[in-house]
Structure 1
Amino acid sequence: MIIKLTKPCTFEGGEYKELNCDFDRLIGDDFIKAESEARLMGDRNMMLESSKLYQACVVAKAAKVPVDLIKSLPGKDFNRVTVEAQNFLLG
């Protein structure tokens, strides 16, 4: 799934106009790593599927980008990509 950003995002010298989020390619280990990442960043949410931080970690895995890029997106884009992750997680 290609998610076009409302405006280009510059991160670590690269410019991103869209994210290619392939949720279907993720495997169980990706979700375990995303959970570990979110927990290390302080997420204590009992239901991770509703956690924006966990969703950001999942999007990062699906798009093969650092989670810090996802966290640096403008609010509208951040909300859009995390809602896509939540929709996938809650299926």
Structure 2
Amino acid sequence: MKITLTKPVTFDGNEIKEIDLDLEGLTGEDLAQAEREYLAMGGQMTSLTLSISYCQGLAARAANLPIEVTRSMSARDSNAIAMEVQLFLHGMEDQVHGKSA
């Protein structure tokens, strides 16, 4: 899924205008690693799928980007990407995007 950013970000001298989230390519290990990173940053054990920080981490993994990229995005872009991850994890992306299952 390609997501066009409303406000491009620059990372390592490269301007990023869109990211390609490969959510289907995530594995259980990606989920576990994102959880470990989230907790190491001081996150609290809650419903991880509702945590913006956790979903930013998963989005970074799905886009094969450092987490600093998702964290440096505008609030609107970062939230939109986190919401896509949340929808995916809850199996709701097709209903929201009007696709049939």
Q: Is 2:31 aligned against 1:38?
A: no
- The number of aligned residues is 91
Q: TM-score, normalised by structure 2?
A: 0.86
Aligned alpha-carbon RMSD (Å): 0.8
The higher radius of gyration belongs to 2
Q: TM-score, normalised by structure 1?
A: 0.95
Aligned partners of 2:14, 2:56: CA distance in 1, in Å?
A: 19
Percentage of identical aligned residues: 40
Corresponding residue number in structure 1 for 2:98: none
Listed as ranges, the gaps of 5+ residues in structure 2 are 92-101
Q: Is 2:83 aligned against 1:83?
A: yes
Corresponding residue number in structure 2 for 1:56: 56
Corresponding residue number in structure 1 for 2:94: none
CA contact (8 A) 2:3 2:18 kept: yes
Listed as ranges, the gaps of 5+ residues in structure 1 are none
The one-letter code matched in structure 1 to 2:52 is K
CA contact (8 A) 2:8 2:73 kept: no
The one-letter code matched in structure 2 to 1:78 is S
CA contact (8 A) 1:45 1:51 kept: no
Corresponding residue number in structure 1 for 2:13: 13
Runs (4+) of structure 1 moved beyond 6 Å? none
